[in-house]
């Protein structure tokens, strides 16, 4: 199958472009196509998911796509309470709560964030575009563009590391001072800077600045140095997670995007927005300090 990249395609990365075009193909299969050399751009094999496309590029997929019959769940607008902490004519920033997925999937049964944004956008007269992501169980600041032009600008800013992202996380063990974790993830550069905020008996509260944006970067990096995020069921410490669930009631990973800072696309100057720590995590800290 052949695709042509149009000027108005906002999905510039090859993996995101194909996810948008091949909605009936499982995501794992799309990455397999790329990894095994089944995707050509301008007749050249591309094996990197983050490869950047340009308008006019021709994409060929050397796979019989007719075998994929996955039903695509229609995304319908649904009322959803949104905690909006900043809004102008071109973008809004939410304090996303934990436990809500960004997009529907085969396993998603509850209302997703994009459904709530579509409902709000229909009411206010704009089309929402998610320009970055937070994991389902990560809370905090999330940027949403209101038009395609702003979505492109913000996507480029995230790619070129022009957006400063600060997270708050509770990690296992005792860490002193500050440091940088500079270990590649998936054969790609990944840089995480951290600073100790507070030490507890068996854990450390840290401020984290992401200099790159790899999948699960904070969680994977801290796990790699032996200090996994408390509550992380994928990369974390099972005994520590069970202890904090029983003793403090922590039911998800302790990770929150507390601040975003970037050049405002709407007006000259820098936009800096803080997302207050969610109530469940704030309560954990209060109990730890007792």
Angle, helices 14-21/27-35, rounded to nearest 10 degrees: 130
Local confidence band at 55 (pLDDT 50, 70, 90 cut-offs): confident
**When comparing pLDDT for 225 and 105, which is higher?**
225
Angle, helices 238-248/279-289, rounded to nearest 10 degrees: 90
Whole-angstrom distance, CA of residue 84 vs CA of residue 110: 20
- Topology of domain 84-159 in CATH is Pseudouridine synthase (3.30.2350)
Domain 164-289 sits in CATH at 3.30.2350.10
What integer pLDDT is reported at residue 156 of this predicted model? 86
What integer pLDDT is reported at residue 69 of this predicted model? 74
Catalytic: which of 135, 232, 237, 280? 135
Average pLDDT of the residues in 134-150: 94
Alpha helices in 75-172 (DSSP H): 113-124, 148-159
Same fold, 2-67 and 164-289: no
- Weakest mean pLDDT among 102-106, 124-128, 185-189, 203-207: 102-106
Q: Return left, alpha or beta for 206; rule: phi > 0 is left, psi -120 to 50 is alpha, else beta.
A: beta
**When comparing pLDDT for 155 and 179, which is higher?**
179
For 228, the token pair is 């996994």
What integer pLDDT is reported at residue 194 of this predicted model? 98
| Superfamily of domain 2-67 in the CATH hierarchy | RNA-binding S4 domain (3.10.290.10)
Residue 67 has pLDDT above 90, yes or no: no
Residue 107 has pLDDT above 70, yes or no: no
Whole-structure pTM value: 0.81
CB 49, CB 13: distance < 8 Å: yes
Q: Answer yes or no: 135 catalytic.
A: yes
Local confidence band at 21 (pLDDT 50, 70, 90 cut-offs): confident
Residue 211 has pLDDT above 90, yes or no: yes
**pLDDT averaged over every residue in the chain:** 92
What integer pLDDT is reported at residue 108 of this predicted model? 64
Domains in the chain: boundaries: 2-67, 84-159, 164-289
């Amino acid at each position: 199958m052949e695709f042509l990249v149009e000027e108005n395609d906002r999905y510039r990365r090859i993996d995101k472009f194909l996810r948008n075009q091949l909605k009936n193909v499982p995501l794992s299969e799309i990455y397999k196509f790329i990894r095994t050399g089944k995707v050509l751009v301008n007749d050249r094999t591309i094996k990197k998911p983050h490869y950047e496309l340009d308008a006019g590029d021709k994409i060929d997929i050397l796979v019989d796509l007719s075998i994929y019959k996955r039903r695509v769940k229609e995304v319908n607008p649904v009322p959803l309470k949104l905690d909006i902490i900043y809004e102008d004519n071109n973008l809004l920033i939410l304090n996303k709560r934990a436990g809500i997925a960004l997009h529907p999937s085969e396993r998603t049964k509850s209302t997703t964030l994009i459904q709530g944004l579509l409902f709000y956008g229909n009411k206010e007269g704009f089309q929402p575009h998610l320009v970055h992501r937070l994991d389902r169980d990560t809370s905090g600041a999330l940027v949403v563009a209101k038009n395609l032009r702003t979505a492109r600008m913000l996507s480029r800013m995230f790619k070129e590391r022009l957006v400063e992202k600060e997270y708050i996380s509770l990690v296992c063990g005792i860490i002193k001072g500050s440091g940088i974790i500079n270990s590649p993830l998936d054969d790609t550069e990944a840089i995480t800077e951290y600073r100790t905020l507070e030490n507890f008996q068996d854990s450390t509260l840290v401020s984290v600045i992401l200099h790159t944006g790899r999948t699960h970067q904070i969680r994977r990096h801290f796990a790699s140095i032996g200090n996994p995020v408390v509550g992380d069921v994928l990369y974390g410490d099972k005994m520590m997670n069970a202890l904090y669930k029983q003793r403090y009631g922590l039911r998800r990973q302790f990770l929150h995007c507390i601040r975003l800072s970037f050049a405002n696309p709407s007006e000259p100057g820098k936009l800096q927005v803080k997302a207050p720590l969610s109530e469940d995590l704030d309560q954990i800290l209060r109990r730890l300090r007792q």
